[in-house]
Structure 1
Amino acid sequence: MDATMSTPVNTRSSLVPMAIIGTLFFIFGFITWLNGALIPFLQIVCDLSSTQSLFVAFSFYIAYTVTALPMAWLLERTGYKKGMSLGLGLIALGCLGFIPAALSQTFAIFLVSQFVVGTGLTILQTASNPYIVHIGPKESAAARISVMGLLNKGAGVAAPIVFTALVLGDFQGITAKTVAALEPAARAAQVASLAHGLILPYLGMGLALLVLAVAMNFSPLPELEIEHEQAELHDHGDKHSVLHFPQLVLGALTLFFYVGVEVIAGDTIGLFGSKLGVANATSLTSYTMAFMVLGYLLGLALIPRVIKQAQALTLSALLGVVLCLSVVFSSPDHHWLSSLLWGWLGLPPLPNTVTFVALLGLANALVWPAVWPLALDGLGKFTARGSALLIMGIAGGALVPLLYGLLSDLFSNQQAYLLMLPCYAFILHFALVGHKKRRW
């Protein structure tokens, strides 16, 4: 954030603002994790390689980096509430762009629409986060942030399931493997039918978001009066730039690699499962997100009562390394792990390799909340600019998965997960050494 609030919002109750912002955080999660279902779906519809299909994630996440500063400038002129309304409207426009994309089966239109959706989410993220901190007492801000995080990740569990039910409800068992086996004429007809299945869900989503945009503009959410930070809380001596803080720069790089592995775990599991012929592969992201929710709940219960933030980050990185190696060296022909973990719930078993990808959600859950306070520690008056630098780390979600796609085309989807090893190694370095550095 570029500014801080002098006082919390003056309301009798924070319940209504919490409900409104909570709805926005659910939308963040739902729209973001739809990518995990879209990637294997569009690979079939547009006949894409793994690398090409991962441009779906690239076009979405690169919007955060490209449009963050322009959107912040826009918010200064529109105000935060109108900015949220504008963000919802942009997401609606991006969703409606999927209709001509589906009718023409043109991948470029899908990518442009994804970029517009990502731009809308950039506005919403920038505008809504100050509210959740300042709509109640400062002492309970962490609890409110936790609730928002659970809503966000819970939406990530629901999104792929809803997508699969609405878009693929009449196409049970469709995978890249089954479509590739069809004769050319039958394959073209199948692909056209699949593409047209996007139209009604995205039309409905676009119209619903337009209604929400109008409702937000007239909602009782109070406008925030912002004043800029005046005081410097620490004496930084000869440090005149955020680049003079090693813990911050290393933290930004850590978030770059973290967002990269988070998107790989969430968005490529469906691609991987589809290659292996797993039924309803577009819903597999839900498994990764479910383990992220579990990790989030464990973090709420254990930090700082049992373990410290740096210790949680260390354990997360080590678990990531173990699971990454397990993905690469386990057999896709065995299903015992999923049978052990959720077979008793009646859920279908998955190949061990896919199950290990889902478990990466558990390793990733605590990285983002642990890195932020460690990276910003001791920045004083540089905190606002430091936060902006950390946000730039979201670019990892655009670039690292794209490299995964290149490696999967060169070798195999399973071997490409080795890319995650150096990423988790860097996260481990920050947890053990990087966050303690105060001078280069």
Structure 2
Amino acid sequence: MPAPVNAAAVSRADPSGPKVSTRASLSLLASLFFMWGFITVINNTLLPHLRSVFDLSYTQTTLIESVWFIAYFFASIPSAKLIERIGYQKSLVTGLGIMALGALGMVLAASIPSYGVTLVMLFVIASGITLLQVAANPYVAVIGSPETASSRLNLVQAMNSAGTMLAPAFGAYLILGRSVSGTATADRVLTPAERLADAHSVVLPYLLVAIVLLVLAAVIARFPLPAIGQNATSRVDKEARKSLSLWEHRALVLGIPTMVAYLLAEIGVANLFVNFVSQPHIANLTHEKAGQYLTLLWGGMMVGRFVGSAIMQKFRAEDVLAVFAAGALIVMLTVLFTSGHVAMWALILVGLFHSIMFPTIFTLAIRGLGPLTEEGSGLMIMAIAGGALVFVQGLLADRFGLQASFALTAVCEVVTLAYALWGAKPSAIQADRAV
């Protein structure tokens, strides 16, 4: 399983490595968080576009996103092995290169056009992001004080949210705004010629993305990123390891399904947002206009992470998580039982409450694992593959209606709330090892 870093070990940079401040290193990592957030959320405008181009059902549409998150499961272990073999800095450059290759592949898929090639290239991009995730998330968690790990990861994740906030506007303008399906009303039926022309609108945005990724890879390749000391990445002795078990740590064991539930909630809301608010009984918008409102949802996540990072300097992370989970549950119930602009703004507001969930669940789950932190971190990264279950919401939308499908999201908020109130409490052995 992936073995990113041992958070309980000394997190200072290797003395023999480059002399670079922690702030400079975090700034560099923040740029990576920004880029993978940006590219991931382009999918939110890409999916309604592909739904129109290929005439897909909701199940088929959400299956595209499932392929994206399946990459986290299959690429996680190879990513950890690659990091062990070539080091963190070269792995970051490699991850960006893989993402650029996938972005160029999307240009090819749009030129054909091909639904199958689109799926393959999205898998490639997601595999590159997985490599960045396996390296960057635990790195941020150990680069400073363990007590402020949640705050620090929320702060850097705020840059991820900055990328997710800008991506919908980028996609709405360059994909939806330049296509017939994106500017037409919901009941417009496209001709074959219009579908072909719409498919080509993906070429320019993904070409631009590929160029930016290659430039960023070149910058990182030349940046004197400090190496983590050897003690920070070494495993516990095999004999000593036999007496330890991950399953004794309740926060980790329950944190894995909680992370799956959270990813299912976040991805389901984001992917179906454009289609939901475009409906006549909600806001009756074109896909292009709906994509612009999606920017507000991701903007709420960015604001929430900055605010959450500050709040967690004074309050326990699990208490803050409980408040945000309760807020998310309330707004999702509003989405379920109202209509019009009330339902639309409630769905936008859920971004604010989702903001701190990923980094906070992650750090609570690996807290106090000591020599088991490597394996615990790997399991939490693999849990991101839970986003692949978003096709379940697509099935519910096809069978019971799009609005009713958000009942699944509400259930996920209950799971997160339960984890914050009870599941995240450290077991006795975990408390003993907490630093």
1:315 Cα deviation after fit: 1.7
C-alpha separation between the residues in 2 aligned to 1:92 and 1:263?
A: 23
1:142 Cα deviation after fit: 6.3
Asked if residue 407 in structure 1 is aligned to residue 396 in structure 2, the reply is: yes
Flag the 1:191–1:316 CA change in 2: closer, same or farther, 3 A.
same
Equivalent in the alignment of 1:423: 412
- Aligned-pair identity (%): 33
Asked if residue 11 in structure 1 is aligned to residue 19 in structure 2, the reply is: yes
TM-score, length of structure 1 as denominator length: 0.85
**Is the Cα contact below 8 Å between 1:176 and 1:275 reproduced in 2?**
no
C-alpha separation between the residues in 2 aligned to 1:290 and 1:250?
A: 29
Asked if residue 82 in structure 1 is aligned to residue 98 in structure 2, the reply is: no
Give the aligned residue type for 2:188.
Answer: A
**Quick check: 99-108 or 223-232, which moved more?**
223-232
C-alpha separation between the residues in 2 aligned to 1:54 and 1:35?
A: 10
**Is the Cα contact below 8 Å between 1:270 and 1:283 reproduced in 2?**
no
**Is the Cα contact below 8 Å between 2:134 and 2:381 reproduced in 1?**
no
C-alpha separation between the residues in 1 aligned to 2:307 and 2:219?
A: 36
> RMSD in angstroms over aligned alpha carbons?
2.9
Equivalent in the alignment of 2:124: 116
Equivalent in the alignment of 2:49: 41
C-alpha separation between the residues in 2 aligned to 1:77 and 1:303?
A: 36
Unmatched segments (≥5 aa) in structure 1: 333-350
Asked if residue 292 in structure 1 is aligned to residue 287 in structure 2, the reply is: no
1:354 Cα deviation after fit: 2.1
C-alpha separation between the residues in 1 aligned to 2:151 and 2:421?
A: 27
Asked if residue 160 in structure 1 is aligned to residue 160 in structure 2, the reply is: no
C-alpha separation between the residues in 1 aligned to 2:80 and 2:110?
A: 32
C-alpha separation between the residues in 2 aligned to 1:18 and 1:430?
A: 29
Give the aligned residue type for 2:360.
Answer: A
C-alpha separation between the residues in 2 aligned to 1:386 and 1:356?
A: 35
Equivalent in the alignment of 2:317: 309
**Is the Cα contact below 8 Å between 1:8 and 1:136 reproduced in 2?**
no
C-alpha separation between the residues in 2 aligned to 1:257 and 1:153?
A: 19
Give the aligned residue type for 1:398.
Answer: A
1:176 Cα deviation after fit: 7.2
TM-score, length of structure 2 as denominator length: 0.86
Give the aligned residue type for 2:297.
Answer: T
Q: What secondary structure is seen at the aligned counterpart in 1 of 2:285?
A: coil
C-alpha separation between the residues in 2 aligned to 1:373 and 1:136?
A: 13
C-alpha separation between the residues in 2 aligned to 1:39 and 1:192?
A: 16
1:299 Cα deviation after fit: 1.3
**Is the Cα contact below 8 Å between 2:106 and 2:121 reproduced in 1?**
yes
C-alpha separation between the residues in 2 aligned to 1:364 and 1:16?
A: 28
Equivalent in the alignment of 1:348: none
User: Which of the numbers 17, 30, 41 marks the counterpart of 2:38?
Assistant: 30
Flag the 1:139–1:373 CA change in 2: closer, same or farther, 3 A.
closer
1:302 Cα deviation after fit: 2.3
Equivalent in the alignment of 2:342: 352
Give the aligned residue type for 1:7.
Answer: R
Equivalent in the alignment of 2:424: 435
Provide Cα deviations, 1:60-79, integer angstroms capped at 9, x if missing partner: 11111111001111121122
1:157 Cα deviation after fit: 0.5
**Is the Cα contact below 8 Å between 1:257 and 1:396 reproduced in 2?**
yes
Asked if residue 245 in structure 1 is aligned to residue 249 in structure 2, the reply is: yes
**Is the Cα contact below 8 Å between 1:252 and 1:393 reproduced in 2?**
yes
Give the aligned residue type for 1:67.
Answer: A
1:130 Cα deviation after fit: 5.3
C-alpha separation between the residues in 1 aligned to 2:310 and 2:152?
A: 15
**Is the Cα contact below 8 Å between 2:297 and 2:348 reproduced in 1?**
yes
Flag the 1:370–1:204 CA change in 2: closer, same or farther, 3 A.
closer
**Is the Cα contact below 8 Å between 1:25 and 1:152 reproduced in 2?**
yes
Q: What secondary structure is seen at the aligned counterpart in 1 of 2:424?
A: helix
Give the aligned residue type for 1:312.
Answer: V
Equivalent residue runs for 1:146-157 within 5 Å: 146-157=154-165
1:87 Cα deviation after fit: 0.6
1:421 Cα deviation after fit: 2.5
C-alpha separation between the residues in 2 aligned to 1:121 and 1:102?
A: 21
**Is the Cα contact below 8 Å between 1:94 and 1:113 reproduced in 2?**
yes
User: Which of the numbers 186, 196, 203 marks the counterpart of 2:200?
Assistant: 196
**Is the Cα contact below 8 Å between 1:45 and 1:105 reproduced in 2?**
no
Equivalent in the alignment of 2:431: none
1:304 Cα deviation after fit: 4.4
C-alpha separation between the residues in 2 aligned to 1:140 and 1:428?
A: 21
**Quick check: 141-150 or 155-164, which moved more?**
141-150
User: Which of the numbers 282, 285, 296 marks the counterpart of 1:278?
Assistant: 285
C-alpha separation between the residues in 2 aligned to 1:145 and 1:55?
A: 30
Flag the 1:223–1:302 CA change in 2: closer, same or farther, 3 A.
closer
Give the aligned residue type for 2:206.
Answer: Y
C-alpha separation between the residues in 2 aligned to 1:211 and 1:361?
A: 30
Flag the 1:298–1:265 CA change in 2: closer, same or farther, 3 A.
same
Equivalent in the alignment of 2:388: 398
Q: What secondary structure is seen at the aligned counterpart in 1 of 2:182?
A: coil
Asked if residue 267 in structure 1 is aligned to residue 257 in structure 2, the reply is: no
Equivalent in the alignment of 1:344: none
Equivalent in the alignment of 1:325: 333
Equivalent in the alignment of 1:58: 66
Q: What secondary structure is seen at the aligned counterpart in 2 of 1:197?
A: helix
Equivalent in the alignment of 1:336: none
Give the aligned residue type for 2:408.
Answer: L
**Is the Cα contact below 8 Å between 1:177 and 1:275 reproduced in 2?**
no
Provide Cα deviations, 1:158-210, integer angstroms capped at 9, x if missing partner: 011011122234448836744x524x6xx223222221111122122213322
**Is the Cα contact below 8 Å between 2:12 and 2:143 reproduced in 1?**
no
**Is the Cα contact below 8 Å between 1:44 and 1:176 reproduced in 2?**
no
User: Which of the numbers 181, 190, 199 marks the counterpart of 2:188?
Assistant: 181
C-alpha separation between the residues in 1 aligned to 2:152 and 2:320?
A: 21
